[in-house]
Amino acid sequence: MADDRHAPKLDDEFNDDDLFASAIEIKVEAKADISLEDDRSNGLSPIEEQSHNLSAADEIDLNSDSEYKDGVPDTKAKIELRSEPEDIFEDIPEPKEVHRETMAGRSTLETLVTSPRTQSCNAYHAGTMIEDEKVITAESDGKFITISVKDPQKIGDGISSFLTYNVVTHTNIGLFKKTEMTVSRRFSDFLGLHDKLAEKYLHKGRLVPAPPEKNVVGTTKVKMAGGQTEHEGKLPEFVERRRAALERYLIRIAIHPIFQVDPDFREFLECEDELPRASNTSALSGAGVLRLFNRMGETVTKIAFKMGESDPWFEERHQQLETLESQFRRLQASLEGLYSHRRELAFATAALGKGLALLSNGEDHAGLSRALAKMAELHDKLEGVHNDQSNADFYILHELIKDYLSLLGVVKDVFHERVKAFQTWQHAQQMLAKKREAVDRWEATGRSDKVAPAKDEVLEWEAKVNRSQEEFDVISKAIKKELELFDLQRVKDFKAAFISYLEAQMKAQDKIIEHWETYMPEAKAIA
């Protein structure tokens, strides 16, 4: 019986082992298919993974045991997240091999490169397209979806103004009405989309990506600034960072085979009309205040209630994720320092160039004056290279770490949803025990008029116990499958980011050498 199951034990010990290899040594203890209720999808086809470095050979079927050999994932398996059929997904064809399409001029998920400097962004993208041309092919029978966020526009003036972004989608998934769509969305629309997805899927153990955080200071500066959002072909740093973050957010939703065909997500990408205003996303709204109090209550619950864990898999993963989060935060701080130092180097290089230019103007010797002027031009060029390097530090590595810290927060949220499911099950068991005690008491005192209703209540609570136990088991299995996908995607994202970062840094060094070699004849020409 469900009520005979012992409460799990809690072990508070933590393991500080390094986790970057954990994605390759995933322990799979439960491989049964998850029976979903509302988020069932009949043979959802994988989508274009928005990746330059992932091939179909790196994928894995999460509903099968065949991809694991001695606890190690088989890299030749194929990703096919499948679940039970649902009516709205009936027209999705049988899954086929993933084919990714090269979108010229656009960076994708694994490139993760956007820069306030237009030339820098193009340079990074060109560098990361090398491997893309080797492994990515586009074929008509492959299912794909690509999303880009571009062209921020300021609407209105003053404090009531807001920014809109064009969301451009290309896809051949049958549930979408068109293959190419362009819609205009504001930041609150993105927050509203997240609220809808989280409400439907978070309590089922699905990892719903979190949207970019609000930035009241940055938003206010943009609202109060006059003129257009672009100046001399460049976006303000805050606007460009938010645009890039919103693009990555939509891509992370699109690579999930359940979220990609969700009606709310499809409406967000397809509906050309303005979406209903998501006013409850405002921090100062009534819903925002209520949400704040709910979070405070959940925080108190997390501290006060300690769930005894019977599944060692969850206990181990909890310890691993805590360690991973700590490592990510230290790496993020180091990258922020590196980014700041490179910015300072660029500023100092520009100042040196200005000093050399002034010196050349006051030099009487023609050859020396020319050499000083050329060296001033050289340092102007080096300033751009150092800025490119700092942008690579930030947009390739720092933002990736920031995204994964946000995803780790989502993992904690689904873990808490599992704890709440366990609390519901535990409460049902306690109530069932009380109802059985009541039946025994009425039978012992000979109150036959009370026995029948009491037995009916026992049957009712037995059904609740079985139902809550089933919900607990379902969310546990769903979380395990989601984390398997999370670990595989994490390794792929970091591999692609490291390759992109190394290519960007090597190109920067090549430019530095080229600039100095170009200047060398000028120095030798001084006579």
Q: What would the 3-class secondary structure string for 282-341 be?
A: CCCCHHHHHHHHHHHHHHHHHHHCCCCECCHHHHHHHHHHHHHHHHHHHHHHHHHHHHHH
Q: What is the DSSP letter of 397?
A: I
How many domains, in total, are found in the chain?
1
Parent domain of 266:
142-279
Res 288: pLDDT: 55
Is the distance from CB of 143 to CB of 172 less than 8 angstroms? yes
Give strand pairing partners of 69: 72
Which residue's structure tokens are 């102007």? Answer: 380
Let me know if residue 479 belongs to a domain.
Answer: no
Round the average pLDDT of the chain to a whole number and report it: 75
Instruction: Report if residue 457 sits inside a domain.
Output: no
Would you say 244 and 150 are in contact if contact means Cβ atoms under 8 Å apart? no
C-beta neighbour count of 424 within 10 angstroms: 17
Euclidean distance between CA atoms 292 and 284, whole angstroms: 10
What CA–CA distance (Å, rounded) separates 40 from 15? 36
Residue type for 270, please?
E
Per-residue model confidence (pLDDT) at position 377: 95
**Smallest Cα–Cα separation from 447: which of 436, 456, 438, 434?**
438
Q: Which of 80, 44, 78, 72 is nearest to 58 (CA)?
A: 78
pLDDT at position 42 is 43
* C-alpha of 394 from chain center: 16
Q: Is residue 186 one of the residues assigned to a domain?
A: yes
Lowest mean pLDDT of 137-151, 303-317, 340-354, 427-441, name the range: 137-151
Q: How far apart are CA 160 and CA 368, in angstroms?
A: 57
Tell me whether residue 129 is in a domain: no
Per-residue confidence (pLDDT) for residue 102, from 0 to 100: 36
Which CATH number covers residue 159?
Answer: 3.30.1520.10
In a domain, 517, yes or no: no
- DSSP lists the bridge partners of residue 162 as 155
Rounded Cα distance, 56 and 327, in Å: 30
| 33 pLDDT above the threshold of 60 | no
Read off the amino acid at residue 110.
Answer: E
Hunting for tokens 């904690």 — which residue is that?
412
SS3 72: strand
The Cα–Cα gap between 191 and 332 comes to 25
Is the pLDDT reported for residue 111 higher than 80? no
The percent helix, strand, coil of the chain (3-state, each to 5) is: 60, 5, 30
pLDDT confidence of residue 279: 60
Q: Is residue 76 part of a domain?
A: no
| Within-domain flag for 207 | yes
pLDDT at 130 over 90: no
51 or 300: which carries more pLDDT confidence? 300
Q: Judge whether 188 lies within some domain.
A: yes
Closest C-alpha to 136, from 56, 205, 66: 56
* Residue closest to 87 by CA, chosen among 55, 42, 49: 42
Q: Give yes or no for residue 26 having a pLDDT over 70.
A: no
